[in-house]
Every structure is written in C-alpha cells, then in structure tokens.
Amino acid sequence: MRSRAKACLVADVGGTNARLGWTRDGQTVRDVVAYRCRDHVSLAHILNTYLNRIAGEAAGEVDWDAVVAIAGYLHGDRLVNSNLPWEVSVVATADAARLASLVLINDFGAVAHALPGIQRHALVPLLPGQRDDGLRTPALVLGPGTGLGAAMCLDRRGIEVLLTESGHAALAANSPLELEIVRCLAARWPHVDTERVLSGTGMKNLYEVLARMRGEFPAHQHSEQIVGAALAGDGVARETLDVFCAWLGSFVADLVLTLGAREVYLAGGVTTHIASFLHAGPFQQRYSTRFTADRLLPPVWRIDHGQLGLAGAAMYWRAHASSRYGHSIEEHA
C-alpha cells in the first residue's frame, strides 16, 4: 500500500486577520492567503476553506499536519485569548479540519523562531549609528497589534524560544502625564495592563483619555483613523502618537534590561502603520535614557511582520516533524 505524503498547513492567526500557507520541507511556504477572522465561524472553518482552495495545487494524497501561530496560551484543550471572535479547542479543530496533527504555538514565539532567516537588508534601524553585526542572541521581538506580543529568540538557529505574557504586565508610568493617564484608565479597569495603551485598541484608549484631558470630543474610533488624523495635523492625535511611541520606548528598554536581550526587533501591524512616528524621536529618547553611558546600547530594528509568523510555524514543524505527535498539545502558559 502506497504511503501518504506528509505536508504541513501553517497559519498565523491574529485578532483581526489570519494568514495561511503550506509547506513540505519546513522552509518554503507556498500559496499564502489572508482571511478576516470575523468572516468565519471558527478556526476550523478557516483551515478547511484554505485546504479546499489549494486542493488542486497540493497534488497527491496528503496527510496534513498543521502548526498555527496564534496569540494567547493554552489552558488544557482550550485557547485563552480575549481578542478572537470565537473559541478554539485543539482536538475539535483538528477533527473538524481532518488533520493528522495540530499544534498551536504563540504568535510572537513563531516570529522569534523565524528571526535567523530574516533578510538583513529588509531591516530598518531605529537608533542613529547602530551597527548590524547579524543576529545577536538572545534577541527580543515584540510588537503592538490587536494585542501586545513579545518573545525571545535564544539561539542563532531559532530553535529555542522564550515566550512572555509581558503585554499583560502592569503598565508603568514614566512621567506626570503618563501617571494621570494610568489613573484615568484605572477608573475603567481594575488592572491596567500594558496593552491597554501599547496596542491597536490601546491607542484608541490613549487617544480618548488625551482628548478629554484637552477638552475635546474623541472623534476617531480606530487606530488607523488616529494615525491618519495625526499625519493630517490633528493636535490630539499627534500627541497620542508621540506619547504612544515614547511609552513604547520605555517599555522596550525595560524588557531589554529585564530579559538581557542583546538586540530588539519591532514587528506587529501597528508598528508598520506608525513607522514615521517611530523614527521621529520620542521612542529613541525614552529607550536610550534607560541605559548608562558605559553600556552598549542594544540595537533596535523595525521589521515588516509579513510572513514571519508563517515562516516560524514552518520552522517549528520541521524541527519537530520527527516526533509524530498526533493531537498532542504544546503548552505555552
């Protein structure tokens, strides 16, 4: 009896969008397609939609593994994630999508796995005069999107990754203005975690607080609108971006000092949208002041998240393909 071929469906699922592709060798990701999560009733529905789409291109009889990079952490069989439009059960999803195996890995953990394969010419330096000596580990990758993700790449092959839930750590104020903002947010939530400000939805929270502090009505409802208004000269929107970038600089520096990172990669959808503001000064000033004059300032690079999550998921499958784990789950809590 002829054995069935093995391939892996790889996915990068955020709170808003899901990107999917597939691989046979764990290196080349093919046929990448993006879907809006809210347009589908479940993760299994997205996986099945994609598998049906590529049925003709993935010729031959195939047993499909799947590695899904997704925000949150596992509690038993269930994914804990407040930003997705549906619940996720690992076993039920694998069965509904008719998969040989399904593993969920943290979304920024996947990006950390992918760091060694980044094209260095695609990196944009955020600090003046910083040098590119290649990947220096341990390396921190983080970024604001629907939430705020962060992970560490511990080795130059991208095999060992340290996951964090630092987006849910308490938001630390660094100035009288930030202290007043935290006080306002604390009136709404008993725990003001970092992503209440440093995320796409967090930017909206920040804008609303600043608008009311300045005696204005908050006219914009989404981060894209706030960024557009800031570029068009709206004063409160521009202040929102300046405060956001400065606060991000302090947070990144604190993580570097806490985790011992030798360099930093900023990714995430919001990072791309606010690129011009990240280069404008507040981020660099706050980041740099955290380090003493005799310490080498760890470089900070901006990268387009793009397909890095898919590449990291493919790399994970390649590294673990020899252990055919069925429906087993890798815990990330």
Omega before residue 190 within 30° of 0, cis: no
| CATH match for 119-302 among 3.40.50.10540, 3.40.367.20, 3.40.50.20, 3.20.20.10 | 3.40.367.20
Q: Which pLDDT belongs to residue 60?
A: 53
Helix (H, G, I), strand (E, B) or coil at 90: helix
Listed as own residue / partner, the contacts of 290-297 with beta carbons closer than 8 Å and 24 or more positions apart are 290/250, 290/253, 290/254, 290/256, 290/257, 291/253, 297/127, 297/130
Q: Which pLDDT belongs to residue 327?
A: 35
**Residue 153 near residue 112 (C-beta atoms within 8 A):** yes
CATH class, domain 5-107+308-320, is alpha beta
Structural domain spans, the chain? 5-107+308-320, 119-302
Phi, psi of 135, rounded to the nearest 5 degrees: -60, 125
Helix (H, G, I), strand (E, B) or coil at 103: strand
**Residue 142 near residue 264 (C-beta atoms within 8 A):** yes
Strands annotated E in the chain: 5-13, 17-23, 30-36, 62-70, 73-75, 78-80, 101-106, 124-125, 139-144, 148-153, 161-163, 263-266, 300-302
One pLDDT digit (tens) per residue for the chain, 333 residues: 344 668 999 999 987 889 999 999 888 899 999 999 999 999 999 999 999 998 866 655 578 999 999 877 778 888 887 778 888 999 999 999 999 999 999 888 899 999 988 888 889 999 998 989 899 999 999 989 888 989 999 999 888 999 888 999 999 999 999 999 999 999 999 999 999 999 999 999 999 999 999 999 999 999 999 999 999 999 999 999 999 999 999 999 999 999 999 999 999 778 889 999 999 999 999 999 988 766 789 999 999 766 888 999 998 998 876 444 443 334 433
CA 316 to chain centre: 16
Q: Confirm whether 5-107+308-320 and 119-302 share one CATH topology.
A: no
In terms of Cα–Cα distance, which of 322, 314, 310 is closest to 12?
A: 310
Query: What's the DSSP call for residue 298?
Result: P
The predicted model scores a pTM of 0.85
